[in-house]
Chains A and B, each alone.
Chain A
Amino acid sequence: MKLICEYPPGNLRNVTTAANVSAVASAIKNMPGVGRPFLIFQSLPGQVVLVDFGRYPDYIVSSDVAQNAALIQQMLDASPIDALTFAE
C-alpha cells in the first residue's frame, strides 16, 4: 500500500507500507505520528508532489489502533485520490 503523509511536518512523503492493515494501523502511530493527517491507497499511478489533506479532515492518526485500521479500510474502499496531485 501507499501512505501519503508529512514527515517531519512540512516534508511530503510517498511511503510504501506492508500489505497488512493491522501492522500499518499500528506503525502510523510512529510515522507520521498521532494527530497527524494521512491518506492511504492500495496503489498510486505516480509520484505525489502535492496533497490537500483539508479535503479529508477526518483522516488523522489516532492513538487507537482499531480506529486507525477503520480509517485505512475506509480509504481502501473509497479512495481519496482527488486530494493528490501527481508529478507530470
Chain B
Amino acid sequence: MTRQIDHSWLEGIGGEDALIGAIAAFSQALVDHAGTVDVPAPTAHPLVEDIVRNHGGQYEIVNAPVPGPDPDPEPEPQDPLERPLELAQIASARLAISGWDVIGLERSPGMSLAFVADVDTVWVFFDEPQSDTEYIVTPSDGVTKYTDYIEVSKPGLSAVSLIVQRVL
C-alpha cells in the first residue's frame, strides 16, 4: 500500500527531490547490504525507511497547497490617444425628399423637424439646441453642423440618414 505523506512533512527532509534521492539511496544501500556479513544495516530518515521497508518505495503526497490564481498584472499605463472613444447617441433621423418637400421622416427622440431649405439642401432640427457643434454626425459628407440643426447638402439629394453622437 502506498505511504501517504502530508505535504508539510517534505519541508523537514528538504523537499520532494531530496525524498526521492533518499529513497533511491536507501534502497540501493539495502541491496548492497544484503551481500555483506557483520556489517551494520544501513539507516535513513524514519520516513524514508518506512517508505522503503514497508511500502516498496511507493508514496503519495497529500494536502498539497492549491496554487492560487495568478495575481492581476499591473495595468499598463494607457496612452490617452489610444483609448477607444466612448460615444453616446443623441439623435438619429431618416428622411425622404422629393423636390421642395420632405415626404418622409423617421426619427429618434432628439430630432422632430426637417425641411428643404434650398435646392438639394435639407435642414434637420434638434428638439433642443446643442451646447456646441462638437458632436459627431455619421455619415459626415455634405454635412454642416450648427447648434440648432444639421444641414445636409448633396447633388441629387433624395434621402438622408443621420446618426448624431457625442464623445462621453
Residues from chain A with a CB closer than 8 A to the CB of B9 are: none
Residues from chain A with a CB closer than 8 A to the CB of B100 are: 14, 47
The answer to whether A31 and B125 touch across the interface, beta carbons within 8 angstroms, is: yes
The answer to whether B125 and A16 touch across the interface, beta carbons within 8 angstroms, is: no
Contact of B128 with A by CB under 8 A: yes
How many residues on the B side are at the interface (Cβ–Cβ under 8 A)? 22
Across the interface, name the chain A residue whose C-beta is closest to B116.
A14
Residues from chain A with a CB closer than 8 A to the CB of B128 are: 26, 30
How many residues on the A side are at the interface (Cβ–Cβ under 8 A)? 16
A16 and B104 CA atoms in complex are apart in Å by: 8
A26 and B115 CA atoms in complex are apart in Å by: 17
Contact of B113 with A by CB under 8 A: yes
The answer to whether B127 and A30 touch across the interface, beta carbons within 8 angstroms, is: yes
Chain B contact surface mostly: strand
Residues from chain A with a CB closer than 8 A to the CB of B75 are: none
Stretch with Cβ within 8 A of B (4 or more), from A17-25, A53-61, A75-83: A17-25
Across the interface, name the chain A residue whose C-beta is closest to B107.
A18
The answer to whether A17 and B113 touch across the interface, beta carbons within 8 angstroms, is: yes
Partner of B129, one of A16, A20, A23, A30: A30
| Of A3, A14, A30, A47, most B-chain CB atoms within 10 Å | A30
* A-contact bits for B108-152, CB 8 A (1 contact / 0 none): 010011111100000001111100000000000000000011000
